[in-house]
Structure formats: C-alpha cells, structure tokens
Amino acid sequence: MEEQFPERQAAGGLDRVNPLAAGVLRRNGIKSWTKPAPTLYPHQWSWDSAFIALGLAHVDNRRARDELESLFANQWATGKVPHIVFNPEAPPKSYFPDAERWNSSALSADAPSGSHTSGLCQPPVHAIAVRRIWETSRGKEEERVERARRFLKANYPRLFAWHRYLATARDPEGSGLVTIYHPWESGTDNSPRWDPALEALQIGDLPPYTRYDLQHVTDPSHRPSDEEYDRYLWLLELLKRERYDEAEIYEAHPFLVKDVLSSAILVAANEALVEIARVVGASEEDVALIEGWIGRGRKGIEEQWDPHLKLCLDYDLRAGEPARVRTIAGFAPLIAGGLTDERLKDVLKTLDSPAFAGNPKLHRPLPPSTSPEEEAFHPRSYWRGPVWPVANWLLWWSLIRAGEPARAAQMRRETIGQLTEGGFAEYFEPFTGEPLGSHEQSWTAAVALDMLAVESRSA
Ligand code: 9WN
C-alpha cells in the first residue's frame, strides 16, 4: 500500500504507530488546544477536541485537560458547547464560514463575549473524554490523582449544563432524542441522512461567499459539493435571523431533525457523567436526573429502530418521517448500550452483512460511513462512503461495552492496520484503502492512541 500511495506518510510498523500518532497531535497543537488538521481546519472543533483529549489522556494528561478547559471556557450561557471556537491567529481566508459570518457574539447575549464561536454544537463526546482523564490518572502518584479530581470537580458543572441543554432545549418533546438544526451539528456533514431535509429547503437570497476548504484537498470530490454548501450557508443565515434563539429556531427553522447518532453518544456520555458525578460527590438529584436521561435516550433510540433495515433511523420533525438510508448512524443502539440480546444480535448481523463491514469488495472489513448498497453511496465523498477511523473507534468502544471482545479486537486490528498502511488520514476509500481528506488528522491519531492503550476487555 505504501507504494500505491507514495505521497502519503504511512504510519510504519505497529510499534511505531504510538509515537507517530503523538507526533501528529504535537504538531497540530496550538497553545492549550489542538487543530483538527494542519491547514484544512485551523480552529478548535468541539467533538474533535473531545476525541483529542481522549487520546492525549494516555500521553500527556495536562494537555488533555487543557484541551477541554479551553473548549469549555467558550460554553454558551444556555449550556451549549459551540461546534467551533475561532482561532484569532488563523491565517486569513483559511476557513469559511469564518467568525464574521457567524457573528454570534453580536447576535446572541448567550454567546461568550470575549471570543468568537459558531452558533451550532456537535455530538457530546466530552464526558467520555473527561472520564478517560480520570481513568488514566487513577492509581498514579497522589498529586496526579488530586489534579485529575480537581479537573473533574471544576468541569462537572459545565458537563452537566451541556447535557441538560441537550436534554431540554434540544428535546422539548421529551423524546430522548437530540434535535439538530444543521448537518454540521451531526458531525457527519454530507451524509445522505440529511439529503431529504436539505432537498426540501427553499434557498432564498444567499449573501455571496468563497469556499476555502477546497484549496486544502487534492480533489474537490472528497468534500461536500457546492450545492450542499449553498444549503449549509442558507441554514446559517436562517439561524442568524433567529439570533440563535432556541425557541425561535424551534418555531421557524426548516431543518429540525432527531439525530440518532448524537442521541446515542449522549446516552453513553451520560453514563460517563454519572461516574463523574459520583467522583465529585454531586447530589443524588443530579444522578437521578442523569439516569433519567439515559433511560429516556435508550427508549427514544429504540423507537427509531427500523425492523426491515435492521438499523436505527433519524427522524425529520418537519417532514414527520424517518430518513430511510443505511449509514453508520444506524448503529446508534450499539453506541447507546443497554441492548436486549435480540437487538444486539440484529445490530451485529447488520454490521457483518454486505451492507457494511461484510461487503466483499472492501479493502478491509471496516464499516463504510454509508452502506455501499445505498444509491447515495460514494466511495470518495466524505461521509457518503469513506471509512472514518473516528467512527471505527465509536463502534470498537461500543462493542467492548456490549461484551463483544472478539469483534472489538478485529475492529481495532483493522483500524490500526489501515493507519499503518495509509497514515493518519481523515478518512479512507473503502475499496482501496486510499487515504483521503486531510493527511494528519488529529482525531485519527488520538483514537489510535486510545485503541493502542486500552485493553479490549476494559474500555
Ligand atoms: C464543519 C473538523 C470537522 C469535524 C466534522 C467534519 C468536518 C466541518 C467541515 O470537520 O466538518 O464542521 O468544514 O467540513 O465533518 O465531523 O468535526 O474535523
């Protein structure tokens, strides 16, 4: 494979993966936080930072804590953790939409006043990372344990406020499912999950804009299309009209979708939050509330189960129907955990089937982001088909929690094998293993560090 893609730096032998991954995070590091990629993403991204902290917890606990502290310092008054915190020192014209286009601090009194952030959020992986910081400190020298405990104490209220925001402002129906206002909030931007809701949009008078993302990739087909960008930017204009006010958005916004992947991550993060609550001695009321969110989340996810596709589906609140497309988000029940034996069997069958990791044409048995059996599948286009190491991490970790160590071990072996061949790319072509997108993607390196450090039996 190295010969096939000589321009990429492969991660070398297995024993070299660890130092090379740590090197990627070091090079992408800026002051107290880490860029998701050297040039394509020059700001701080929310769920990237959570994954980065998870990996850093194994190599540099202080940086792991700083990573999350700097993100949480930009939390909105509502509890929302913004999806982007803008880096004032990023080169001009390096990323669009920029802070000016979002204009969030001018439009909303809830936005932080001393910095610039986007007006959206992303999946809540953060509590899982905070728990990892605790786990990697436990049993070490007393001073380090104490530092970790202080970190948990300081950040528990922020995490609690963040999860409460998702359970209330983003779920006024009390369905257990998180509503998103924009595909960027899902973290799986151009996934066909969002096609029906995006296609239904009537685009109005869109202020002109220039995309800068395309200058950082070798081929524009790796990234979302211009048609998709117009829709993304139009939704942004609509959110600005509502001054990012949750109630107004819920009233008027045309894109309101219950995202099963974010909802499942919230359930798993709430499990972590219960443990953190115990460590910091939070009240029993808090614990009961969080446990209630876990139960409600699992129930909501189960209600989105499609018995024919044997996967979970997102639900479009405006259209009043689910989006019937097979993507990795469909494995939400596995990520949320607490499955019945029957549901676990169903999910594993789908995972092993030709619709996903059992597809005979795959370079490695790793699940493509969109099923190759879907019409919307595209092997090179971002979330429409490529294999994402960060998604493999979610499934690997969930398989361990589900008591499936053999399957988890295979997922880990194949993921690390992929990076050994192709380097720490953002995503990979599923049939050839070609690395795509950004070459030194931070979260790819971070999940490799976590997979290498954590025994499959105890994640
Ligand atoms: C928009 C940073 C982010 C990830 C997302 C991924 C991509 C941004 C973009 O990059 O999204 O937020 O410009 O495409 O889809 O999951 O957090 O790595």
Q: What is the DSSP string of 114-127?
A: SS-B-S------HH
Question: Which residue's alpha carbon is at the smallest distance from atom 8 of ligand 1?
Answer: 184
What is the reported pLDDT for 454?
86
**Residue 354, both tokens:** 């030709």
The torsion angle over the Cα atoms of residues 402, 407, 410 and 416, rounded to 10 degrees, is: -20
Bond into 97 cis (ω within 30): yes
Instruction: Give the three-state DSSP class for 140.
Output: coil
What is the reported pLDDT for 221?
86
Q: Report phi then psi at 383, rounded to 5.
A: -90, 15
- Low-confidence stretches of the chain (pLDDT beneath 70): 1-10, 12-14, 455-459
What is the reported pLDDT for 30?
93
**Of 347, 346, 317, 454, nearest in space to 393 by CA:** 454
Q: How far does residue 30's CA lie from ligand 1's centre (Å)?
A: 18
Instruction: Give the three-state DSSP class for 76.
Output: coil
Question: Is the pTM here over 0.85, yes or no?
Answer: yes
Q: List residues with catalytic annotation.
A: 189, 426
Q: Which helix (H) or strand (E) holds 315?
A: strand 315-316
What is the reported pLDDT for 377?
98
Instruction: State whether the Cα torsion 166-170-172-177 is positive or negative.
Output: negative
**Residue 392, both tokens:** 């493999």
Which atom of ligand 1 is nearest the CA belonging to 83? Answer: 12
Q: How far does residue 444's CA lie from ligand 1's centre (Å)?
A: 13
Which atom of ligand 1 is nearest the CA belonging to 47? Answer: 17
Compute CA 102 distance to the chain's CA centroid, rounded to the nearest angstrom. 21
Which atom of ligand 1 is nearest the CA belonging to 390? Answer: 16
- Site to probe by mutation for ligand 1, drawn from 25, 41, 84 as the one with most ligand atoms within 8 Å of Cβ, is 41
Question: For ligand 1, which residues put their CB under 6 angstroms from it?
Answer: 36, 41, 45, 47-48, 83, 184, 187, 189, 213
Q: How far does residue 25's CA lie from ligand 1's centre (Å)?
A: 17
Please report, for residues 153, 264, 273, the alpha-carbon distance to residue 293 in angstroms, rounded to integers and kept in the order given. 21, 11, 11
Q: How far does residue 355's CA lie from ligand 1's centre (Å)?
A: 25
- Site to probe by mutation for ligand 1, drawn from 45, 182, 213 as the one with most ligand atoms within 8 Å of Cβ, is 45
Q: How far does residue 187's CA lie from ligand 1's centre (Å)?
A: 6
DSSP-derived letter for residue 327 is B
What is the reported pLDDT for 457?
44
What is the reported pLDDT for 442?
98
